[in-house]
Amino acid sequence: MKTRATARVVATAAVLLLGASACTTSNYEGGARDTLTILTHYANDPLKSGLQEMVDEWNAANPDLQVETQAVSFDELLQTITVRQTGGEAPDIVHAYSLWGGQLAEANVLAEVPEDVAQDVRDNYSPAAVGSVTVDDRIVGYPTEVQTYGLYYNKRLLAEAGYDAPPSSWEELEEIAAATTKRDDSGNIEVAGFGLTSGWDSAVVHPWVSLLQSAGGRYMNEDGTATAFDSPEGRAALELEKRMIDDGVADPAIDVLKSFPSGTTAMTINAGWWIGSLKTTMGDDYEDIGVAEIPGPEVGDTGSMAYGYFAGVNSRSERQDDAWEFLKWLNGEKGDNGATRMGSFQFSLGTIPGRMADSEALAGTIDDPNFDPFVAALEYAAPEPNGRNGQEMKSSLQGSIEAVWTGQQTVEEALAAAAAAADAALSEG
């Protein structure tokens, strides 16, 4: 009898174990959420603590409507949104990259935007910002930031090579890049004249698109129905990058995000958000950093692309009204300094707020001339297309550009193939 009893104990234990672990872990009580959740990529400081400060302020004033932030790194954000949405643990508020607007709208992730919010966005945000949150003429959420591109350069490295001003044309760019490059005895690059980085889609695609625009080319055609980058301007921009790699002044294997702040890359193209991060990582060395508008083939040419982030409400949220309430407070209501909370927060990081009144209210508070090129670029920067296949298109374009960088394809082949693939995807979707 003893053995049978043991067997019964084993069986019971199994049932209990399975049953117990099927219990819910957190967040869910009685099937409904008791807090609003925001999913964002603000996973590191100063972004993380800045957002948390605003959320804390709201939570203190609204004990009945608590907000909780969930942050993942940018690399994982799209996958996290997709997986959670399908897996059922969808956040109430999605803070996402403008490129994904089309994909998220088509999968029905984003809830309808209330008319007053849509009107507020159309009336009060800069054209680049409105463009970044518009999918098929529909506003998908509040633009939280707009990013444009500029040429970062290290004044100290340029001065050591005998230059006291940033390049104003492609020719000068190549000349200064060559003059600032240094190598060790075994031929490894110690200081790269120009920074190009592979392996990360934005770092590969956006500088090239900016150069393409500075040459007078376009990424998309006028009405956004087909690509326009397989053009003389597009080829010239890619040939410029390829030349610098072949001459050994740029090396895509170097991670510019590390090498530029450590003073081993002289120039590179990046977006405005980087200023905040450079200030934190470089400390006093930040004095060496200058930013200029991106030069074009001739003196006086310039160009940039623009992208942004938006905060939208999940169509799966059971508290959509509450979520919009919170977003309106965050993005629409003026604080003590005359600007919205989101605007002040973005501005403090060196990012241009999308809301025009915010930029005006805050204009006097920062005197770093490095911001000027990014503000100037708002005038001419073209927004990144955000259709259904936006991320896929960008990933394939990244592949084509990297293939040119590494010499696997010629500029002509790569751009023709990338354009054909992207146009096919556009006509399907």
Residues in contact with another protein by the rule CB under 8 A? 3-4, 6-7, 10, 14, 17-18, 21-26, 28, 31-33, 43-44, 70, 73, 75-76, 78-80, 82-90, 103, 106-109, 184, 186-188, 198-199, 251-253, 255, 257-258, 262, 281, 316, 391-392, 396, 398-400, 402-403, 406, 408, 420-421
| CA-CA-CA-CA torsion sign (46, 49, 53, 54) | positive
**Beta strand 382-383 pairing with 265-271:** unpaired
Least CB distance from residue 388 to another protein, whole Å?
9
Residue 285: strand, helix, or coil: helix
Burial class (CB in 10 A: 0-12, 13-18, 19+), 155: middle
* Of 365 and 408, CB closest to another protein: 408
Distance CA 329, CA 326 (A): 5
Q: Which of 301, 278, 292 is nearest to 153 (CA)?
A: 292
- From first CA to last CA, the distance across the chain in angstroms is 68
Least CB distance from residue 141 to another protein, whole Å?
18
**Residue 423 · residue 226 · CB < 8 Å:** yes
* Of 31 and 63, CB closest to another protein: 31
Q: Which phi and psi angles does 265 have, rounded to 5°?
A: -135, 135
Least CB distance from residue 271 to another protein, whole Å?
18
Least CB distance from residue 292 to another protein, whole Å?
26
Interaxial angle between packed helices 411-428 and 232-246, expressed in degrees from 0 to 180 and rounded to the nearest 10:
130
* Of 235 and 341, CB closest to another protein: 235
Least CB distance from residue 220 to another protein, whole Å?
20
Burial class (CB in 10 A: 0-12, 13-18, 19+), 270: buried
* Of 260 and 374, CB closest to another protein: 260
* Of 99 and 294, CB closest to another protein: 99
* Of 3 and 427, CB closest to another protein: 3
* Of 164 and 184, CB closest to another protein: 184
Q: How many CB atoms lie within 10 A of CB 293?
A: 23
